[in-house]
């Protein structure tokens, strides 16, 4: 992904489609496709300068920054042009639902990284003052207790692999994943950090 501070909008093929380019917006955490909009040279320049994703409305023939009315903004993470440089992929962090219908995505069945979605829930419960959930109790118990739970769940997962059916193994693996996410958050890390390490090992 291109660094938004160095992305050169002058290299894009603005003349191909009347000065507008399709912009696919993807959640930087869950990787869910959120929406499709259009950007002009001016709106993309404003996006890069402000860090808030701004589009060009074809119906109103005007710029519009996502969230100006609803408060549901898109905070820019990165932008990348496609191979023909006539469309862009925008990675952003949504603050609230993206769709005007109140849903996370304008595409109802858009797939997402389920682990990233769970990590987001863990993060919310870590900082919620009034949260009395199991997750919050784990954080309050401290890293040693969370690490112990990861060890216990790891053993249970291994046992399920050799003594139980696939459904039990799936369940135990899910429990292990959840507790690992809590441990990462307790250490100030998150699922994105693990995903980045996996990408680094794969040479991506």
The pLDDT of residue 10:
93
The pLDDT of residue 64:
94
pTM: 0.79
The pLDDT of residue 144:
98
All domains of the chain in start order, with CATH: 9-94 (3.10.20.810), 114-202 (1.10.287.1080)
pLDDT tens digits in sequence order for the chain, 204 residues long: 556 778 999 999 999 989 999 999 999 989 999 999 999 999 999 999 999 999 999 999 999 999 988 999 999 999 999 999 999 999 999 999 999 999 999 999 999 999 999 999 999 999 987 778 999 999 999 999 999 999 999 999 999 999 999 999 999 999 999 999 999 999 999 999 999 999 999 986
For residue 126 the two structure tokens come to 């870590």
Question: Reduced to 3 states, what is the DSSP secondary structure of residue 91?
Answer: strand
Sheet of 20-27, strand order? 33-40, 20-27, 88-94, 74-81
Closest CA to 169 of 160, 156, 179: 160
d(CA 26, CA 140): 33
């Amino acid at each position: 992904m291109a660094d938004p501070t160095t992305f050169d909008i002058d290299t894009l093929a603005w003349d191909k489609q009347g000065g507008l380019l399709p912009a696919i917006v993807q959640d930087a955490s869950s990787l869910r496709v959120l929406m499709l909009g259009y950007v002009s040279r001016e709106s993309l320049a404003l996006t890069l300068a402000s860090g808030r994703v701004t589009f060009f409305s074809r119906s109103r023939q005007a710029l519009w920054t996502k969230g100006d009315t609803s408060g549901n903004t898109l905070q820019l993470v990165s932008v990348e042009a496609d191979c023909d440089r006539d469309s862009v992929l925008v990675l952003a962090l949504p603050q609230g639902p993206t769709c005007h219908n109140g849903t996370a995505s304008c595409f109802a069945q858009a797939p997402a990284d389920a682990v990233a979605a769970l990590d987001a829930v863990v993060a919310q419960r870590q900082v919620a003052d009034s949260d009395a959930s199991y997750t919050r109790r784990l954080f309050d118990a401290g890293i040693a207790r969370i690490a112990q739970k990861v060890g216990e769940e790891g053993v249970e997962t291994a046992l399920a692999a050799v003594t139980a059916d696939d459904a039990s193994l799936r369940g135990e693996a899910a429990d292990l994943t959840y507790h690992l996410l809590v441990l990462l958050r307790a250490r100030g890390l998150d699922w994105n950090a693990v995903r980045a390490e996996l990408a680094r090992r794969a040479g991506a």
